[in-house]
Amino acid sequence: MWVGTQIDTTKLEHIKADRKGILEEKVSLAKQSVGLDALLIWAHGDPQSIDTLCELCAGMGIETYLWYPILADIPDFEIPKSAKVVNHEGRRGYGEIGRWQRLGTYASGREKFEFLCPNSEETISQIFNLYKNQLNRHDFDGVFLDRIRYPSAAMGFEMLFSCFCDNCKRMFKQQFNMDLQNLRSAVEAHFGKRDIYSIDLIKNAGSIHEILYPEVMGNFLIFKNRSVYKVVKKFSDYAKTKGKKVGLDLFSHSLAGAVSQDYELLSTACDWIKPMIYCHSTGPAGFPLELHSIIHSLLTLNRDLKLEGVAAGLSDILKVKLPETLNLLMTNGIPEELIFYEIKNINMLNLKSGVDIYPGFEVMKMDDLCVITEKILGSYLDNVFAQKAKGMVMSWDLLDMPAENLDFTKRYLREHTG
């Protein structure tokens, strides 16, 4: 069982002494507990601490990856307003319907989740140069690419309908010989319908993606998938020329279509994929938050809908029963069995041969984000093993990871793998 985890060394910035000792203690514990195979290191932090981690990991037989966000929250870079995605209303950054309320861990606003249009080539080139410098500065074994998507419903439901910037208009015309302005008008008309999202649509849909987008957006959704892929390939190709492995941080399969992440297409640009199958996290990419935003938005856009009907339709799609209220969804999360069905669906895709799937799930105890008990962790692991996954990524941060959860995982792995 391949085991990876993540670390953000910026949390050490307030510590003036013995950073190396702290890092050695944390990495050694993870190696001894779960046989850690890979450490994904956040791109922004004290360069000396990053070098220390690379050296420590090399001595323990642990691979190191540059954990790098591309289309949002790029270290040492402010996305120009003109380069952010534009929805059908001309809005940039965030929408209003169902938008995430930033609380607790995210209240400081360090992670803004304001997305750059992947077709803003000049801005992408600037970020690419920063990425190359960081990759060449340290002795990483690979790269782990993050924030490779369009905005999700958590950024405001309206932002799912983007991007309509001048670059997208030009490139869409080149690819499909169609005027993107006509599609923009169709989307505006779609939002103007009273029964925009009916209960019959929700009950009969085979995926969340089918619920959210009208058929008229077909070519545009293909275009968006290609746009994300183009950027990922640019960054991946460079890493591979340097002899580095490439991992991708993707929304879980049921949510990926909504943010233009095509697993089959993206698998051609990587060595492994981490689906973020977060059943309890109330932050972006977590099922509780993303489903809360989607459900709230559907109820807002069609006042005739009832929560129980929407929840029942989504439960049928996901194969697990959702909580009865939106508050319970955020406080209790959803059944960990979801990880079984998500991996099953991914395994049925036509991925590039040799690309491994390492499901990511929370192991943290953070009162305002997720509290993963041994019972929850055991259920996660049961479902990972039931699908015979080749590996897993314990999320998120090794610096704050509860020792008792590492110890529990150690005992579980010994029992199930010998």
Q: Is the peptide bond before 117 cis (omega within 30 degrees of 0)?
A: no
How many C-alpha atoms does 107 have within 13 Å on its Cβ side? Answer: 5
Tokens of 43: 């791109």
Give the CATH number, domain containing residue 50: 3.20.20.80
Global pTM value: 0.96
pLDDT at residue 12, rounded to an integer: 87
- Could you give the angle at which helices 403-417 and 374-386 cross, rounded to 10 degrees? 30
Residues paired with 362 in a beta bridge: 395
Residue range(s) defining the domain that contains residue 342: 2-417
- The domain total for the chain is 1
H-run or E-run covering 199: helix 199-204
Please spell the DSSP secondary structure of 321-372, one letter per residue: PPPSSHHHHHHH---TTHHHHHHHHHHTS-PPTT-EE--EEE--EETTTEE-
Phi, psi of 193 (to 5 degrees): -80, 140
Residues of the chain under the 70 pLDDT cut = 103-109, 418
Residue type at 291? L
CB-based contacts of 290, cutoff 8 Å, min separation 6: 152, 153, 154, 251, 255, 284
Distance separating alpha carbons of residues 47 and 238, to the nearest angstrom: 21
Number of neighbouring beta carbons within 10 Å of residue 17? 7
Phi, psi of 276 (to 5 degrees): -85, 90
The model's pLDDT over 106-165, given as tens digits with 9 standing for 90+, comes to 666 678 899 999 999 999 999 999 999 999 999 999 999 999 999 999 999 999 999 999
pLDDT at residue 107, rounded to an integer: 62
